[in-house]
């Protein structure tokens, strides 16, 4: 299949471009150079916190940073674009869809509780259940309230 090599390179680039809250930092985009060299564009999907809340958020430790993603930090849209530019990249497209992500979180919450017997059989206790219920529902509320968003950005090497 002549297109397979291109698809494989694109898959590696997209995989390398996945940034989660724990990975974002000064080195996050720099570590993707090898994969980015293989394709013209990367697509990143990142959860962000409102610009107006970011300065306070980044100086504290919230429930998610303490219990779900220890040491993690979400960027603001502006902070994300600054890091993208520092990495020598340019944003060519951006799509935000926090409201639909809220629905996804609510579905995960429902499914998690519907299948709790299976989860408990793996050795997880009620404390774990309460923690994940709080995490999933509070995140859904953050997206509903506009405090967080999910952004997919397309980046390319700056000229």
pLDDT digits (tens, 9 = 90+) for 78-117: 999 998 888 888 999 999 999 899 999 999 999 999 999 9
User: Count of CB atoms within 10 A of residue 20's CB?
Assistant: 13
pLDDT of residue 158: 63
Q: Which domain holds residue 82?
A: 4-157
Pair of tokens at residue 120: 């408990």
Q: What is the CATH number of the domain that holds 77?
A: 3.40.50.150
d(CA 153, CA 79): 13
Rounded to two decimals, the pTM is 0.71
Could you tell me if 43 and 154 are in contact, meaning their C-beta atoms sit under 8 angstroms apart? Answer: yes
Question: What are the catalytic residues?
Answer: 139
- Which pairing describes strands 148-157 and 89-96: parallel, antiparallel, or unpaired? antiparallel
Own/partner contacts of 108-112, CB < 8 Å, gap of 24 or more, are 108/136, 109/133, 109/136, 109/137, 109/140, 112/136
Listed in sequence order, the residues at least 6 apart from 83 whose beta carbon sits closer than 8 Å to its beta carbon are 24, 26, 28, 29, 75
The number of domains in the chain is 1
pLDDT of residue 42: 86
pLDDT of residue 152: 93
Pair of tokens at residue 121: 């059989």
Residue ranges of the chain whose pLDDT lies below 70: 1-40, 158-159
Pair of tokens at residue 84: 């993208």
**Nearest residue to 23 (alpha-carbon basis) of 60, 63, 75, 93:** 75
For residue 17, CA distances in Å to 32, 37, 46, 95, 116 come to: 7, 12, 10, 16, 33
pLDDT of residue 12: 47
pLDDT of residue 75: 93
């Amino acid at each position: 299949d002549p297109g397979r090599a291109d698809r494989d390179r694109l898959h590696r680039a997209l995989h390398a471009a996945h940034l989660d809250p724990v990975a974002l930092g000064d080195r996050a985009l720099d570590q993707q150079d090898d994969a980015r060299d293989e394709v013209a564009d990367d697509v990143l999907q990142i959860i962000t916190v409102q610009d107006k809340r970011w300065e306070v958020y980044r100086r504290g430790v919230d429930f998610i940073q303490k219990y779900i993603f220890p040491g993690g930090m979400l960027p603001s849209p502006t902070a994300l674009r600054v890091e993208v530019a520092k990495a020598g990249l340019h944003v060519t497209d951006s799509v935000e869809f926090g409201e639909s992500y809220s629905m996804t979180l609510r579905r995960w919450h429902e499914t998690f509780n519907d299948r709790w017997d299976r989860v408990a059989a793996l050795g997880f206790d009620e404390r774990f259940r309460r923690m994940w219920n709080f995490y999933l529902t509070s995140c859904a509320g953050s997206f509903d309230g506009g405090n967080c968003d999910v952004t997919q950005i397309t980046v390319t090497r700056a000229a």
